[in-house]
Structure 1
Amino acid sequence: MSRELPGHIRALLDAAGGPADSAGVPWAGRDLAGSVPATAEHAGDDGLADARVAAALDALRAGRAGEAAVVDALRDARIFVPLIASVAGDANDPVPVSDKEADLSLVTIAAPDGRTALPVFTSVDALRAWHPDARPIPTWAPRAALSAAAEDAQLMVLDPGGAVSFVVRRPALWALAQQKPWTPSYADPAVAAAARGVTVSEPAVLQVDCAAGRGVVSADRNGARIAGGGPGPELRIGLTLRSGLDRHELDAVVRRIQERLAADPVFADGVDSIEMRIVAAPA
């Protein structure tokens, strides 16, 4: 379920490089990263992972916490974005490359579904293990989320290739950009109510259930299952239908429901991608 960048996120982009956050509070001098001195330039940064983010990832890996805890920890965390130097100028220019001016470019990667993702890292070591030639730039995670939006990226991947890699999906990314709390769609009562609401005019639908989709699950570097951090689909909608529907009737019901979900504002803001499971009621 692909969505256009909403107006309130576009407005935030205008101030993404400014001296204050989305609430107008200056970034400079804020002690947001525990032991890391927080100045506008992150002077004296030790390059280590933010303690809250590391603890949230450990808890997710151990099954003690969910995805929302990781995103919540990121709201006040310093992370690192990778910049890659690219040589500017004419390739046929005889001036030596070392004398040329290099441009630093923000790196994006392709997600499994083809969407653009911004890679970010908890520590300098994690970034250099991923790309030794990338320059680590410290920044607050909400700023990185705005940078992702500016690059038309709908995902942000934390520590790709690391021991634990966590995908911040589009609704969480937008919430992070606004420094607002985020609830996963599969745990959001408003999303469940919206799913039930779009089916009330369908007499063939007997029950609607919402649960975490298969795409929420990820794996650590050793292949161990983690109940969160995957790229999606994140929401599974189960439809129990009355028995006796032929293929044409079934397809028509599902198509109407999908169209209504796509037009529903709760889904537009709160759901990244869905899978549907059809169950026929006993005869």
Structure 2
Amino acid sequence: MTEMPKKALPGHIAAALAGAGGITDSAGQPWAGRDLPAQEKYHNFDADDGAMDAGFAAAMADLAAGDGSEAQVVASLATARVFIPIVAQLAEQTVGENGLVSDKESDMALVTLQGPDGRRALPVFSHAEALARWHREARPVAVYAARAALSAVAEDAQLLVVDPGSQRPFVVRRPAMWALAQQQQWQPSYDDVAVESVLRESVSALGNSAVVDISASAGQGIESLWDHRSDPGQLLVSGGGTGPELCVTITLVPGLDQQTVNELLARLQEFWAGQEYFASAVDSIQIRLRHPQPQT
């Protein structure tokens, strides 16, 4: 993914940064001369050592072992702390008497990425070391992953990418990202009976006898290639890919010409797009056409 121009910070992150490291508190009262009880908790991450959240680490390990699912990884993020990278962005320059340009003011801004397909993504990191390796000058801001997802939505991002550039990145696609932002459980579209129901309704609504059967399954796009720089080799896992996530298999009667097939697919996709639940639950679709085998 390529780096996108930086944008202004969401209000909650800007406020957290603005109040960090100053000589006064948020009410303007000086810190000097004040004793802070050691046992008192001042924010959610007082004792944070920057390590990966244990629940997220366990879910990722299960996915790598083939015992988990991407839904379980997303569920683990619901309570996990992540780090958002913040970088300095030049706000104003000044020209000195000698004609040299120097920085006068700078702002702190979120970094967004752009994938090969043009979609915008917000990078987050499961531990501080991963962020430091990715961008040495970025400042880590600790937030809950749900809050990071909310920021991604505010930035018009379609993806939340956990640990980009690492050996084991994990992409949270739009439906899962929205569910995370709303603190709701995410149901993958390929395992959602409501999505399957819309597919079957589309065939009935069009009244086209050319479709023998229609079904949903996980698309190959959910797969991720991990450990690609490691020995003994690469690991292909069933989760965390950029998509397509939903494979729609359509069995057609034999003998249809290409134009008829194209028109049929266009009508089906138009129906799917018009269904609010389907449009929100499905990130991207892979269509597979089949013809029934002749009986002998």
TM-score normalized with structure 2 length: 0.80
User: Per the alignment, do residues 255 and 175 of structure 1 end up closer, same or farther by CA in structure 2, a change over 3 Å counting?
Assistant: same
Compute the displacement of 1:97 (Å).
Answer: 4.7
Compute the displacement of 1:139 (Å).
Answer: 0.3
Among candidates 132, 148, 151, match of residue 147 of structure 1: 151
The 8 Å contact of residues 80 and 121 in structure 1, kept in 2 or not, is answered as: yes
Pairing of 1:119-198 with structure 2 (within 5 A): 119-198=123-202
Q: Which amino acid in structure 2 is aligned with residue 207 of structure 1?
A: D
Compute the displacement of 1:252 (Å).
Answer: 1.1
Among candidates 224, 236, 255, match of residue 225 of structure 1: 236
Between the aligned partners of 1:55 and 1:163, the Cα distance in structure 2 is: 16
User: Per the alignment, do residues 189 and 15 of structure 1 end up closer, same or farther by CA in structure 2, a change over 3 Å counting?
Assistant: farther
Compute the displacement of 1:245 (Å).
Answer: 1.1
Compute the displacement of 1:84 (Å).
Answer: 0.8
| Residue deviations 1:100-140 (CA, integer Å, cap 9, x gap) | 33211100001231100000000000111111111010001
Which residue of 2 is the match for residue 214 of structure 1? 220
Compute the displacement of 1:244 (Å).
Answer: 1.4
Which residue of 1 is the match for residue 261 of structure 2? 250
Compute the displacement of 1:87 (Å).
Answer: 2.5
Q: Which amino acid in structure 1 is aligned with residue 173 of structure 2?
A: R
Between the aligned partners of 2:273 and 2:102, the Cα distance in structure 1 is: 50
Between the aligned partners of 2:42 and 2:57, the Cα distance in structure 1 is: 21
- Secondary structure (helix, strand or coil) at the match of 2:95 reads coil
Compute the displacement of 1:39 (Å).
Answer: 5.1
User: Per the alignment, do residues 86 and 154 of structure 1 end up closer, same or farther by CA in structure 2, a change over 3 Å counting?
Assistant: same
Between the aligned partners of 2:11 and 2:194, the Cα distance in structure 1 is: 30
Which residue of 1 is the match for residue 89 of structure 2? 86
Among candidates 183, 203, 210, match of residue 204 of structure 1: 210
Q: Which amino acid in structure 1 is aligned with residue 51 of structure 2?
A: L
Between the aligned partners of 1:220 and 1:206, the Cα distance in structure 2 is: 38
Between the aligned partners of 2:42 and 2:272, the Cα distance in structure 1 is: 44
Compute the displacement of 1:246 (Å).
Answer: 1.4
The 8 Å contact of residues 95 and 102 in structure 2, kept in 1 or not, is answered as: no
Compute the displacement of 1:281 (Å).
Answer: 2.1
Between the aligned partners of 1:96 and 1:249, the Cα distance in structure 2 is: 64
The 8 Å contact of residues 121 and 158 in structure 2, kept in 1 or not, is answered as: yes
Between the aligned partners of 2:127 and 2:208, the Cα distance in structure 1 is: 51
The 8 Å contact of residues 77 and 140 in structure 1, kept in 2 or not, is answered as: yes
Which residue of 2 is the match for residue 58 of structure 1? 61
| Residue deviations 1:15-56 (CA, integer Å, cap 9, x gap) | 89899xxxxxxxxxxxxxxxxx98536234211111001111
Compute the displacement of 1:91 (Å).
Answer: 5.4
Compute the displacement of 1:237 (Å).
Answer: 0.1
Among candidates 262, 275, 281, match of residue 270 of structure 1: 281
Unaligned runs of 5+ in 2: 1-9, 17-39, 229-233
The 8 Å contact of residues 195 and 261 in structure 1, kept in 2 or not, is answered as: yes
Which residue of 2 is the match for residue 69 of structure 1? 72
User: Per the alignment, do residues 228 and 80 of structure 1 end up closer, same or farther by CA in structure 2, a change over 3 Å counting?
Assistant: same
Among candidates 22, 46, 51, match of residue 49 of structure 2: 46
Structure with the larger strand share: 2
Between the aligned partners of 1:92 and 1:237, the Cα distance in structure 2 is: 60
Compute the displacement of 1:190 (Å).
Answer: 0.9
For the pair shown, the structure with the greater C-alpha radius of gyration is 2
% of aligned pairs identical?
44
- Secondary structure (helix, strand or coil) at the match of 1:89 reads strand
Compute the displacement of 1:90 (Å).
Answer: 2.2
Between the aligned partners of 1:202 and 1:128, the Cα distance in structure 2 is: 56
Compute the displacement of 1:14 (Å).
Answer: 9.2
The 8 Å contact of residues 119 and 158 in structure 1, kept in 2 or not, is answered as: yes
TM-score normalized with structure 1 length: 0.83
Between the aligned partners of 1:39 and 1:50, the Cα distance in structure 2 is: 20
Which residue of 1 is the match for residue 290 of structure 2? 279
User: Which range is displaced more, 200-209 or 65-74?
Assistant: 200-209
Q: Tell me how large the CA RMSD over aligned residues is.
A: 2.3
